[in-house]
């Protein structure tokens, strides 16, 4: 009998070059900056897409991107302590509606619910200022 030699399967932790990736960016005062995301468990990750269509399907049509190689993206992420690279993530959480969030924040504010607390804080703060001045003046 002859033994059949099967090629080894790569380990999941082995890095396989992904080629050129479409990397989401955001604009800043000095140009564009790569966007980094969070994994479902909360860890930070760099994200790249193998096609512009996949990037658009996941992040929307308004998301700008640049083309970077996998090693270049890892080199950008490394100084920030980001060692994970996610290629073609299947989905992302929807972006927040900042206007609706601001309205909810105002509605849920403790100041709107408990106006008497504002007066208590002002009186307490004023008493602390007077006590400090008394110590300084003597």
Mean pLDDT, consecutive 10-residue stretches, the chain (138 aa), reads 51 58 90 90 93 92 93 93 91 61 60 48 56 66
pTM of this structure? 0.56
Residue whose token pair is 């849920």: 108
- DSSP-assigned letters across all residues of 56-123: HHHH-TT--EEEEEHHHHHHHHGGGT--EEEES-S--PPPP-HHHHHHHHHHT-HHHH-HHHHHHHHH
End-to-end CA distance of the chain: 102
């Amino acid at each position: 009998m002859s033994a059949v030699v099967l090629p080894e399967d790569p380990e999941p932790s082995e890095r396989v070059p992904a080629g050129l990736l479409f990397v989401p960016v955001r604009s800043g005062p000095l140009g564009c900056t790569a966007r980094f995301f969070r994994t479902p468990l909360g860890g930070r990750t760099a994200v790249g897409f193998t096609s512009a269509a996949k990037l658009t399907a996941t992040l929307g049509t308004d998301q700008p991107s640049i083309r970077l190689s996998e090693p270049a993206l890892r080199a950008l992420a490394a100084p920030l302590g980001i060692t994970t690279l996610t290629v073609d993530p299947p989905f992302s959480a929807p972006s927040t509606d900042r206007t609706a969030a601001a309205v909810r924040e105002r509605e849920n504010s403790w100041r709107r619910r408990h106006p008497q607390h504002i007066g208590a804080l002002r009186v307490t703060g004023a008493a602390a200022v007077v006590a400090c001045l008394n110590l300084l003046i003597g």
